[in-house]
Structure 1
Amino acid sequence: MIAQLFSRSAHGLLVAASVLFLAGCATGPQTNPTDPLEPLNRSVFRFNDSLDENVLKPVATGYRDYTPTLVQTGVRNVFNNFSDVSAVLNNGLQLKGRQAASSLMRVVVNTTVGVYGLFDVATAIKLERYPEDFGQTLGYWGVRSGPYLVLPLLGPSTVRDTAGLPVDWHVDPVSNARIASFSPETQILRIVDRRAGYLAAGNLLNEASIDKYAFLRDAYLQRRRSQIFDGNPPDQDLPDQSQAPSQSSK
């Protein structure tokens, strides 16, 4: 049911984001210009954090501890292969021909020789991954990131990245509800596998004496800025939306 909710509620998330934005306008001035919705975002963050601590983290811990490493590697490889499908589209939309070609070859090689992605043959033969999503594509073409958002269940985002989710879900074989061969359980497995990969980092974050919300917000925004500029953001304090197509490596 969680996976079905994810794959069918894209428009609902956009509406919710708009409502949060309008509501945030009434919360008064905020100290952080990137996070004008901070009071509401913190409320959603607390909900997500509680869900993670009580459901996702225990399940992910059991998955990590009791599932054979070989199986975990195969599962992660399959989901990486799915994400490479989105990378083909988004690298192409960003006019990055070499990256799009590499992503396409990865999908072909891993789907065939790698047995539907169970084995990452593409990496073994030096075909590099270039993960991209539609939020990055929008940023590449000059769409402003907008305010920081924390989405229920989905976590950190921005208005721009939220607007890109319907495209990502439509392209992704697992999230696309019209592809009957993938069940909600497959989506749940991906969520658990992804959460298992963050267990060590999450434990360190919980042990640190910091504002967890602010740390995750700043880390997310910094990471997204780096992704928009392909890991090479300008030194000056420019917004991520200022990148022109000619500035990105192709």
Structure 2
Amino acid sequence: MALFLLAGCASQGDVENGAVYDPIEPANRLVFAVNDAVDTVVLQPTAFVYKEVVPAPIREVVRNFLDWLSSPIYIANSALQGDLEGLEHNAARFVANSPMFGLVDNATGLGLERRPEDFGQTLAVWGAEDGPYLVLPLLGPSNLRDTGGMVADYFMDPINYIGDEDTVFRLQIARRVVGAVDFRAQNYQQINDLKATSVDYYARVRTIYKQRREALIRNNTPPPMAATGSSSSGEFEQFQPSNAPIEQSGSRAKD
């Protein structure tokens, strides 16, 4: 609740023309540099081996399973947003994929595409602003609102209640690592190109993150700045700051 209130009353008035509110930029840049070093030394080579050695159908099975594990979170957030259509969609998708424990994506063939929801989006639907931009160690770009959302999503996750603390810890670490490697493999060339062509890699990722999150909150439609001719993140449309593919998202509450 404190994070929600802080995000709602943060100094958004200091941000003009769609710029990102980044009051602790020096600290964020330091964490970003460490994350980038970890990516270069560990994640990038691991993802390369993963995508070269593991066949595409197996990678798709892994992706399907990770998405299925997150389905209860999607369902809960759809309900919290008052999105009855999204609630029905995500519940039906979860049931359709449950016979094979999510390994096979039967739901997409039935017209039930992936529609992830998180509590950061729920807070946005409730009217919370982004708040200050944050770069989290290992987790990457975020903001105050979305960081608070991560905490809430953690407690919504049924995996945290299926065994003792040691078992839960191991499962969550394995899930995060596999999700990170799969994400990096999915976006392998895009991220490498972004690094190579960016004059300021930090600033470019910051802008992409903001634009992408705004688009997801608006059901994956472009943010207002794109409609006025400003540059958008279309150059990197598939970039997802999460551990699962995102194709559709909750809508922001109407005024």
Which TM bucket (shorter chain)?
A: 0.7 to 0.9
Query: What is the distance in 1 between the residues matched to 2:198 and 2:252?
Result: 39
Q: Is the 8 A contact 2:198 2:204 kept in 1?
A: no
Determine which of 171, 186, 189 is the counterpart of 1:197. 186
Partners of 1:48 and 1:152 within 8 A in 2: yes
Q: Distance in 2 between matches of 1:117 and 1:123?
A: 12
Q: How far does the alpha carbon of each residue in 1:94-146 deviate from its partner, in whole angstroms, 9 at most, with x for none?
A: 1111111110111111011xx10111000011113221110010011011211
Structure 1 counterpart of 2:253, one-letter code: P
Question: In the alignment, which residue of structure 2 is the partner of 1:7?
Answer: none
Cα gap change, 1:62/1:173 in structure 2, threshold over 3 Å: closer, same or farther? Answer: farther
TM-score (norm: length of structure 1): 0.77
SS of 1:245 mapped into structure 2: coil
Deviation of 1:230 after TM superposition, in Å, equals 2.2
Paired residue for 1:159?
144
Q: Residue in 1 aligned with 2:65?
A: 78
Identity fraction in percent = 39
Contact 1:57 1:195 in 2 (8 A): yes
Aligned mates of 1:244, 1:70 — CA distance in 2: 35
Residues 86-97 of structure 1 mapped to structure 2, 5 A cutoff: 86-97=73-84
Q: Secondary structure at the match of 1:205?
A: helix
Question: TM-score, normalising length from structure 2?
Answer: 0.75
**Conserved? CA contact 1:30–1:36, under 8 Å:** no
Which SS does the other structure have where 2:103 is aligned? coil
Query: What's the CA shift for 1:200?
Result: 1.5
Q: Quick check: 2:15–2:21 contact (8 Å CA) kept in 1?
A: no
Structure 2 equivalent of residue 245 of structure 1: 253
Q: Is the 8 A contact 1:84 1:129 kept in 2?
A: no
Name stretches of at least 5 consecutive residues in structure 2 with no aligned partner: 7-13, 229-250
Cα distance per residue 1:20-79 (max 9 Å; x no partner): xxxxxxxxx999661111111100100000011001111111111111222111001101
Change (3 A) 1:198 1:173: farther
Match of 1:99 in 2: 86
Are the equivalent residues in 2 in contact too, given 1:60–1:195 (CA < 8 A)? yes
- The RMSD of aligned alpha carbons is 2.6
Cα gap change, 1:146 to 1:193, in 2 (>3 Å): same
- The residue number in structure 1 matching 2:215 is 226
